[in-house]
Chain A
Amino acid sequence: MISLTSPVETRAHGWPAGAKLGALCAATLLLFEIEDLVWQIAFCAGMLLLYALPGRAFLKGGLGRLWMLWPFVALILLWHVLTRDAEAGLVIVLRMITAVGLANLVTMTTKLSDMMAVVRWLAAPLRRFGVRTRSLELAVALVVRFTPVLAAKGQMLSLAWRARSRRRPGWRIIMPFTVLAIDDAEHVAEALRARGGL
């Protein structure tokens, strides 16, 4: 499965994931404390500069991911222009873009395995209480493996529907789709038990 980590290798790829996550938390808290427009413009510009540093391909990828915010930007600006409070609207929009941008930046520069290492570290206290965190890791692996498998089976179901009907497949294929997921789960559980279980 494709992850959202950027293929453009940056210096931040080598930094420890835990430190990046901590810095992100601190930066987001700070952003929500500040109501001043000039500071918010400065933070947003700083965030864009961070995207620009590793080069054009990285900047383009990052901006593409921020594009999903446009409905909120349009809605909030329109709202605040109508209520004659455009400055507050700009603060909200800039803060949202900066916060999402910074968070995406951490995701783009951190490999899935590094993120998993942070989760393992966070789950360490649970192991003291006898919780087996290995099953958590197995569950993660199962989801990563079975999402494309289920998606392919859903594709087959909709093709089978199209072969029989002139109408487009709608919600009716979700029932057999869920049956397929349940059957897969039962088979995998049986296979795990046959190999000695958890």
Chain B
Amino acid sequence: MERNLTMIALFAALIAALGLIPKFTLGFGVPITAQSLGVMLCGTVLGAWRGGLAALLFVALVALGLPLLAGGRGGLGVFASPTVGFLVGFPIGAFVTGFIMDQWRSAPVGLAAGVSAVLGGILVVYAFGIFGMMMTLNKTLPEATLLVQAFIPGDLIKAVLAGFITSGLAKARPASLLSRS
């Protein structure tokens, strides 16, 4: 019980701390922050429920007014801005990532983590993100998809990194990889 609680809290803090790391820029000039990588890691390391709760805790603290998003953003304003869908999608994306990780035990850790990060951390999160843009900016589905596509290559790279990092963690701290325990 204590361990579940501290793992959830520390991974929520990890997502926040990853937002403070300076962003690295892709070759063609799209800046990417490591924050969504943190969401993917919540799922691949903590599993479905704990990972989803960690991301939910992070999003809830942003809503309460802590400047935890990359660039020191936060507060209720981000829930009215066009990127609201991504934020709402974080907990569900982490949950789905962890769920696939839980289910697909026959695959090697790195591969399973990479694939579940693509499905949960990109597919699910973008589905919510695009829906949020449709609502706030009054756009149709293809138009909203066009608006976010510039960020997909960066997130694909992050999913691959999530795979590598999770497989590294499986070697460094095998007992703490709760998604496979």
Contacts and interface: CB of A to CB of B under 8 A. Distances in A.
Interface of A: 1-5, 24, 28, 32, 65-66, 68-69, 72, 75-76, 88, 92, 96, 99-104, 106-108, 110, 112, 115-116, 119, 135, 138-140, 142-144, 146-147, 149-151, 154, 158, 170-171, 174-175, 177-179, 181-186, 188-190, 192-193, 197-198
Closest 8 CB pairs of A and B: A107-B75, A142-B9, A103-B76, A104-B77, A150-B17, A185-B10, A99-B80, A146-B13
Interface in B39-54: 41, 45
Nearest to B4: A189
Interface of B is mostly: helix
B8 interface: yes
Contact of A100 (B5, B18, B74, B80): B80
Interface stretch (B64-72, B95-103, B111-119): B64-72
7 contacts: A92-B138, A101-B77, A102-B80, A142-B9, A143-B61, A146-B9, A197-B2
Interface of B: 1-3, 5-14, 16-18, 20-21, 24, 34, 37, 41, 45, 57-58, 60-61, 64-68, 71, 73-82, 135-138, 147, 161, 164-165, 168-169, 172-173, 176
Contacts of B16: 143, 147, 150-151
Interface of A is mostly: helix
A110 B80 contact: no
A174 B81 contact: no
